[in-house]
């Protein structure tokens, strides 16, 4: 059932109020929204009184596992007298044993995978899915579910096992048995587009931390906008596991700094402090005090000293995190990588299979006997069922609240409903500005400014910001304030000079799935700093809009360190990404239209610093969706003698040059190739119509790397591009130096025509 249809679903029975702990004055975001977000279950560290039946059901398994020689103080014959806490601890411990065996069996079966972190963090995975997180496995898209992000993505096997035990359809035992197989639902790193229950695609280290910050930001933002004192719609926690690799990566640091700045207190980062990375002990390259660093950033920090023998200490840590109402929480959990195996505590456990002898010993160590591989203790399923039931109940509760909300706050509901469908108000595109030829000139970044601010009025989900270049990027929603800890409803995010985190956070916002439409802005050159998250947007179907200004050597004085040359080529090569380089106001609006429409695909709009016409004669906003089209042609019924192909700020050079050539009697066509990928996707006939194969004299003009242009100019064509680094100087002089003048384009074209 789609979220949109579920939104106004009325639960079949009234909620049973006693299930939910009302915490009227806790767990709130900052002081402003304090009274609004009070609905939340506790982390269940205190078990309810355990029934005799329950104890009976576990006794055989537990006594087998932890019989007299392991726990002489326990009399299994009088199982009903065993202290409830101790009993629950033993149950938890046995469940974790089972998880470890599933991990080992999966790796052995696949002859591939990363068991080290999965084994070491088995307790953490288990406690999160069994005791802490709220989710409904039957509706993994429930918008108010807790989110879990595995930043140490190579440990995905732990997540797959947990999803399986938590009853997610997407991970059956057969899926665990197909780990890392082509086409399986259990690929080598977690992919949200492959496996339901996976929130984001992770693997490149540190990205997940930024994603989690983005998700927590989305929750905080929506809670501030939509929650009411008597109706809490958004109130979930975000959990993220990071490893030593994430702890070293700059992106995770950038994101962590922002999380504390924003006081995202519902974010809990769990650091797998196992002292090992691929190359050996972390001491090879890592001496810092990670917790002290997080404290310096403004985090609440907790250390769990020995989770393997004291699982409760981790539950307690989650409790503390839960009760923290200002700071995000960083829980350092000391673990043994490859726990249980012979490689325990060494970097050898990081990835790879185990030898048979080791597997045998592991089984002995936990008294697993000769159970078949992939065995799950039936009681483990029942154990998880409790959390599953809880999640279902909570979701029902939530719908009940929502039902009340829609009658009390109809004006908010309309917007909320819009958001939770796809965020696009019918006819939104009509609000995009239009320019005509008499409008004053501006840079395309200026036209972008107008597009963004018009869109902000009709797209309630539009939210984003710049990496400290808002004024230069002109990427600021003027009527919508800043997202800050004391104004989480603000729709302008101040990322600071942190491009990499900006990308990862934007992916998190997009994949929160709540209809938010994130935009992220910087200079095009600094796409270099966020290349991987841009790629991950494309891979994970995150509809982020990247606004990249100062898109060529045309930025002038700042010189070659700031002048993009090869960036467009590299970005265009990213699968699925739409890269636009609009030539004027109308093409800019056209680019926004396609970008906004594509909610499961990222777009990148490259914009000029220097001024260009508001409406270059011949450009058509609507044509941008085709990627390329003819803006002018004087050939009449004939084929043109030559085609000049341009993008962005160079399209007008093509047009002006064409006019000169036409004055000389030439038949000249000018084509705007505003988005290569969209053009490539057009039917062959359309492409042939725009670039007829019989016209082999073609010149492309783009102030960027020539790489890739041959596709469009053909073997005989000429590519006017930049194949070296730019130069510091006034824009017009730099353009001249590199041949971007009407004179040069005309000369090149004339030479080609005379060939």
DSSP assignment string, 310-323? -HHHHHHHHHHHHH
Helix, strand, coil shares of the chain as percentages rounded to 5? 45, 10, 45
Spell out the residues 6+ positions from residue 202 whose beta carbon is closer than 8 angstroms to its own.
Answer: 149, 150, 151, 152, 153, 156, 189, 190, 208, 211
Of the residues 250, 369, 378, 664, which one makes contact with a copy of itself according to CB under 8 A? 250
For 111-206, where are the alpha helices, taking DSSP H only?
115-120, 122-127, 156-165, 173-176
Is 357 or 685 the residue whose CB approaches a copy of itself more closely? 685
Is 206 or 391 the residue whose CB approaches a copy of itself more closely? 206
Question: Quick one: how far is CA 277 from the chain centroid?
Answer: 24
Is 373 or 729 the residue whose CB approaches a copy of itself more closely? 729
Helix, coil or strand: residue 389 = helix
Q: CB 118 → a copy of itself: shortest distance, Å?
A: 15
Tokens of 595: 């970008």
Which three-class secondary structure string do you get for 595-652? HHHCCCCCEEEECCCCEECCCCCCCCHHHHHHCCEEEEECCCCCCCCEEEEECHHHHH
Of the residues 707, 742, 747, 750, which one makes contact with a copy of itself according to CB under 8 A? 707
Is 340 or 539 the residue whose CB approaches a copy of itself more closely? 539
Is 257 or 514 the residue whose CB approaches a copy of itself more closely? 257
- Residue 198 binds to a copy of itself (criterion: CB under 8 A): no
- Residue 438 binds to a copy of itself (criterion: CB under 8 A): no
- Residue 181 binds to a copy of itself (criterion: CB under 8 A): yes
Of the residues 97, 123, 146, 254, which one makes contact with a copy of itself according to CB under 8 A? 254
Is 229 or 481 the residue whose CB approaches a copy of itself more closely? 481
- Residue 195 binds to a copy of itself (criterion: CB under 8 A): no
Q: Give the interface segment with a copy of itself, choosing from 46-54, 165-173, 337-345, 556-564 (CB under 8 A).
A: 556-564
- Residue 113 binds to a copy of itself (criterion: CB under 8 A): yes
Q: Give the interface segment with a copy of itself, choosing from 8-16, 137-145, 157-165, 240-248 (CB under 8 A).
A: 240-248
- Residue 278 binds to a copy of itself (criterion: CB under 8 A): yes
Match 């990213």 to its residue by tokens: 574
Q: CB 428 → a copy of itself: shortest distance, Å?
A: 28
State the Cα–Cα distance between residues 214 and 240, nearest whole angstrom. 12
What sign for the dihedral angle of Cα 713, 719, 722, 723? Answer: positive
Is 11 or 496 the residue whose CB approaches a copy of itself more closely? 496
- Residue 326 binds to a copy of itself (criterion: CB under 8 A): no
- Residue 73 binds to a copy of itself (criterion: CB under 8 A): no
Q: Which helix (H) or strand (E) holds 294?
A: helix 290-297
9 C-beta neighbours (distance < 10 Å), count:
12
Tokens of 720: 């006017």
The count of C-alpha atoms lying within 13 angstroms of the C-alpha of 129, restricted to the half-sphere facing its C-beta, is 30
Q: Which residues are part of a known binding site for substrate?
A: 114, 350, 445, 472, 550, 558, 562, 609
Q: Give the interface segment with a copy of itself, choosing from 118-126, 389-397, 496-504, 543-551 (CB under 8 A).
A: 496-504
Is 470 or 752 the residue whose CB approaches a copy of itself more closely? 470
Spatial contact of 214 and 163, defined as CB atoms under 8 Å apart: no
138 C-beta neighbours (distance < 10 Å), count:
14
Of the residues 566, 599, 742, 744, which one makes contact with a copy of itself according to CB under 8 A? 566
- Which 395-434 positions form the footprint of a copy of itself (CB under 8 A)? none
- Residue 570 binds to a copy of itself (criterion: CB under 8 A): yes
b/e sequence 505-543, b meaning 16+ C-beta within 10 Å: bbbbbbbbbbbbbbbbbbbbbbbebbbbbbbbbbbbbbb
Q: CB 608 → a copy of itself: shortest distance, Å?
A: 18
Burial category of 135 from C-beta neighbours within 10 Å (exposed 0-12, middle 13-18, buried 19 and up): buried
Q: Which residues are part of a known binding site for Mg(2+)?
A: 244, 274
* Catalytic site positions: 499
* 39: nearest Cα among 25, 28, 23: 23
Of the residues 191, 199, 272, 344, which one makes contact with a copy of itself according to CB under 8 A? 191
Spell out the residues 6+ positions from residue 23 whose beta carbon is closer than 8 angstroms to its own.
Answer: 38, 40
- Which 124-153 positions form the footprint of a copy of itself (CB under 8 A)? 153
Query: How is residue 81 annotated by DSSP?
Result: G
- Residue 258 binds to a copy of itself (criterion: CB under 8 A): yes
- Residue 338 binds to a copy of itself (criterion: CB under 8 A): no
Spatial contact of 504 and 471, defined as CB atoms under 8 Å apart: no
Of the residues 147, 253, 332, 593, which one makes contact with a copy of itself according to CB under 8 A? 253
Helix axes 378-408, 84-110, angle to 10 degrees: 100
Rg of the chain over CA atoms, in angstroms?
A: 29
Q: Give the interface segment with a copy of itself, choosing from 139-147, 182-190, 546-554, 739-747 (CB under 8 A).
A: 182-190
- Residue 183 binds to a copy of itself (criterion: CB under 8 A): yes
Size of the site for a copy of itself (CB under 8 A): 111
Q: Are strands 280-281 and 276-277 parallel, antiparallel or unpaired?
A: antiparallel
212 C-beta neighbours (distance < 10 Å), count:
35
Q: CB 731 → a copy of itself: shortest distance, Å?
A: 10
- Residue 446 binds to a copy of itself (criterion: CB under 8 A): no
- Residue 187 binds to a copy of itself (criterion: CB under 8 A): yes
- Which 450-479 positions form the footprint of a copy of itself (CB under 8 A)? 466, 468-472
Spatial contact of 646 and 588, defined as CB atoms under 8 Å apart: no
- Which 515-544 positions form the footprint of a copy of itself (CB under 8 A)? 525-526, 528-529, 531-532, 535-536, 538-539
Of the residues 562, 593, 669, 697, which one makes contact with a copy of itself according to CB under 8 A? 562
Q: Which residues are part of a known binding site?
A: 114, 154, 203-205, 244-245, 274, 350, 445, 472, 526, 550, 558, 562, 609
* 582: nearest Cα among 435, 429, 448: 448
Of the residues 173, 620, 727, 742, which one makes contact with a copy of itself according to CB under 8 A? 727
Burial category of 181 from C-beta neighbours within 10 Å (exposed 0-12, middle 13-18, buried 19 and up): middle
Site map (CB under 8 A) of a copy of itself, residues 149-168, x = contact: ----xx--------------
Of the residues 285, 404, 414, 639, which one makes contact with a copy of itself according to CB under 8 A? 285
- Residue 293 binds to a copy of itself (criterion: CB under 8 A): yes
- Residue 575 binds to a copy of itself (criterion: CB under 8 A): yes
Q: Which residues are part of a known binding site for thiamine diphosphate?
A: 154, 203-205, 245, 274, 350, 526
Of the residues 296, 414, 437, 639, which one makes contact with a copy of itself according to CB under 8 A? 296
Spatial contact of 599 and 545, defined as CB atoms under 8 Å apart: no
Longest dimension (CA), the chain: 104
Q: CB 352 → a copy of itself: shortest distance, Å?
A: 11
Is 380 or 502 the residue whose CB approaches a copy of itself more closely? 502
Of the residues 192, 211, 227, 257, which one makes contact with a copy of itself according to CB under 8 A? 257
Q: CB 320 → a copy of itself: shortest distance, Å?
A: 21
State the Cα–Cα distance between residues 719 and 620, nearest whole angstrom. 24
- Which 590-649 positions form the footprint of a copy of itself (CB under 8 A)? none
Q: CB 18 → a copy of itself: shortest distance, Å?
A: 40
For 324-443, where are the alpha helices, taking DSSP H only?
356-365, 378-408, 410-421
State the Cα–Cα distance between residues 337 and 152, nearest whole angstrom. 13
Is 187 or 488 the residue whose CB approaches a copy of itself more closely? 187
- Which 665-704 positions form the footprint of a copy of itself (CB under 8 A)? 693
Q: CB 717 → a copy of itself: shortest distance, Å?
A: 10
- Residue 489 binds to a copy of itself (criterion: CB under 8 A): no
């Amino acid at each position: 059932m789609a979220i949109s249809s579920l939104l106004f679903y009325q639960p079949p029975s009234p909620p049973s109020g006693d299930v939910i702990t009302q915490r009227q004055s806790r767990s709130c975001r900052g002081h402003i929204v304090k009274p609004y977000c009070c609905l939340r279950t506790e982390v269940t560290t205190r078990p309810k009184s355990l029934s005799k039946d329950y104890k009976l059901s576990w006794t055989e398994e537990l006594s087998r596992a932890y019989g007299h020689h392991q726990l002489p103080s326990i009399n299994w014959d009088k199982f009903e007298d065993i202290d409830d806490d101790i009993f629950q601890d033993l149950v938890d411990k046995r469940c974790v044993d089972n998880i470890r065996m599933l991990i080992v069996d999966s790796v052995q079966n696949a002859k591939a995978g990363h068991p080290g972190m999965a084994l070491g963090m088995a307790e953490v995975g288990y406690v999160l899915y069994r005791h802490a997180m709220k989710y409904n496995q039957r509706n993994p898209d429930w918008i108010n579910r807790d989110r879990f992000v595995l930043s140490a993505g190579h440990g995905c096997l732990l997540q797959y096992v947990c999803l399986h035990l938590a009853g997610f359809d997407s991970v059956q035992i057969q899926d665990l048995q197909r780990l890392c197989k082509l086409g399986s639902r259990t690929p080598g790193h977690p992919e949200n587009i492959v496996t339901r229950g996976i929130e984001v695609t992770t693997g490149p280290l540190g990205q997940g931390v930024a994603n989690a910050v983005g998700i927590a930001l989305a929750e905080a933002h929506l809670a501030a906008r939509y929650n009411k004192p008597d109706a809490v719609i958004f109130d979930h926690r975000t959990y993220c596991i990071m490893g030593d690799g994430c702890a070293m990566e700059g992106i995770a640091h950038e994101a962590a700094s922002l999380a504390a700045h924003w006081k995202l207190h519902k974010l809990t980062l769990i650091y797998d402090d196992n002292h090992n990375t691929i190359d050996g002990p972390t001491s090879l390259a890592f001496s810092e005090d990670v917790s002290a660093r997080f404290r310096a950033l403004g985090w609440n920090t907790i250390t769990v000293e020995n989770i393997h023998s004291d699982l409760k200490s981790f539950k307690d840590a989650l409790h503390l995190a839960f009760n923290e109402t200002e700071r995000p929480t960083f829980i350092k959990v000391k673990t043994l990588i490859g726990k249980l195996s012979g490689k325990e505590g060494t970097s050898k456990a990081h990835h790879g299979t185990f030898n048979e002898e080791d597997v045998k010993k592991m089984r002995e160590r936990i008294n697993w006997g000769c159970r078949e591989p992939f065995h799950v203790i039936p009681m483990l399923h029942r154990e998880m069922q409790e959390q599953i039931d809880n999640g279902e109940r909570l979701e029902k509760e939530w719908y009940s609240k929502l039902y009340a909300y829609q009658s009390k706050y109809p004006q908010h509901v309309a917007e909320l409903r819009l958001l939770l469908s796809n965020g696009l108000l019918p006819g939104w595109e009509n609000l995009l500005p239009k320019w005509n030829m008499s409008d004053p000139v501006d840079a395309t970044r200026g036209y972008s400014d107008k597009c963004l601010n018009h869109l902000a009025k009709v797209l309630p989900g539009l939210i984003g910001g710049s990496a400290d270049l808002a004024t230069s990027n002109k990427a600021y929603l003027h009527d919508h304030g800043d997202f800050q800890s004391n104004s989480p409803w603000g729709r302008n995010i101040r990322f600071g000079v942190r491009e990499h985190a900006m990308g990862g956070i934007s992916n998190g916002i997009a994949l929160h799935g709540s209809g938010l439409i994130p935009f992220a802005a910087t200079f095009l050159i600094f796409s270099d700093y966020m290349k991987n998250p841009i790629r991950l947007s494309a891979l994970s179907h995150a509809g982020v809009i990247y606004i990249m200004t100062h898109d060529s050597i045309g930025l002038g004085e700042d010189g070659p360190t700031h002048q993009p040359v090869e960036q467009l080529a590299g970005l265009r090569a990213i699968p699925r990404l739409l890269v636009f380089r609009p030539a004027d106001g109308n093409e800019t609006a056209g680019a926004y239209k396609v970008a906004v429409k594509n909610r499961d695909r990222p777009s990148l709009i490259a914009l000029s610093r220097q001024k260009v016409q508001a409406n270059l004669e011949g450009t058509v906003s609507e044509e941008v969706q085709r990627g390329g089209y003819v803006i002018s042609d004087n050939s009449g019924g004939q084929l043109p003698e030559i085609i000049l192909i341009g993008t962005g700020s160079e399209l007008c050079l093509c047009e002006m040059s064409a006019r000169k050539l036409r004055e000389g009697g030439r038949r000249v066509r000018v084509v705007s190739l505003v988005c290569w990928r969209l053009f490539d996707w057009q039917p062959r006939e359309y492409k042939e119509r725009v670039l007829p194969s019989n016209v082999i004299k073609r010149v492309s003009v783009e102030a960027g790397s020539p790489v890739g242009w041959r596709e469009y100019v053909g073997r005989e064509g000429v590519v006017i591009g930049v194949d070296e680094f730019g130069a510091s100087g006034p824009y017009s002089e730099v353009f001249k130096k590199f041949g971007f003048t009407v004179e040069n384009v005309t000369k090149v074209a004339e030479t080609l025509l005379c060939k």
